[in-house]
């Protein structure tokens, strides 16, 4: 390249993460949990335990391919993530278990036989 031509800087391009960013206004499976943590430094206030622990830190947990996954949620995003989880639960209501359905069918069959 010639001396006067500018090359695009690598830093000018947006940074790409591992694809773990939280989607905007999309249903999210799982639940939102808060945790208080101990940092294990001997001189820290959290070594006493109880209310002196650090946090709360928010995490979204969900199952994916049989494994439990966990993702940190910034406190500023907690409300949006909670809304996404509520939307997921609205779209995927809990199904009655097969055992409950079979018990109901057996009860109805007994009523018909009597």
b/e 44-61 (16+ beta carbons within 10 angstroms → b): eebeeeeeebeeeebbbe
- Which residues touch 51 (CB under 8 Å, ≥6 apart)? none
* Structure token digits, residue 51: 């209310």
Structural domain contains residue 81? yes
Domain total in the chain: 1
pLDDT tens, position by position, for the chain (114 residues)?
445 554 444 444 454 555 566 545 688 899 999 999 889 888 898 888 778 888 899 999 999 999 999 999 999 999 999 999 999 988 887 766 777 888 999 999 999 987
Q: What is the structure's pLDDT at 9?
A: 47
Structural domain contains residue 2? no
Structural domain contains residue 69? yes
Structural domain contains residue 99? yes
Structural domain contains residue 92? yes
Structural domain contains residue 10? no
Structural domain contains residue 91? yes
What is the residue range of 103's domain?
25-113
Q: Which residue has the tokens 């208080």?
A: 36
Structural domain contains residue 95? yes
């Amino acid at each position: 390249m010639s001396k006067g031509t500018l090359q695009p800087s690598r830093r000018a391009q947006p940074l790409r993460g591992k694809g773990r960013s939280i989607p905007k206004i999309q249903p999210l499976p799982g639940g939102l949990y808060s945790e208080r943590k101990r940092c294990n430094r001997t001189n820290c206030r959290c070594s006493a335990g109880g209310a002196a622990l650090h946090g709360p830190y928010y995490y979204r947990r969900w199952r994916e391919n049989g494994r439990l996954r966990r993702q940190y949620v910034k406190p500023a995003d907690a409300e949006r993530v909670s809304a996404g989880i509520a939307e997921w639960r609205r779209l995927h209501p809990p199904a009655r278990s097969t055992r409950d359905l079979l018990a109901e069918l057996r009860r109805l069959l007994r009523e018909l036989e009597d």
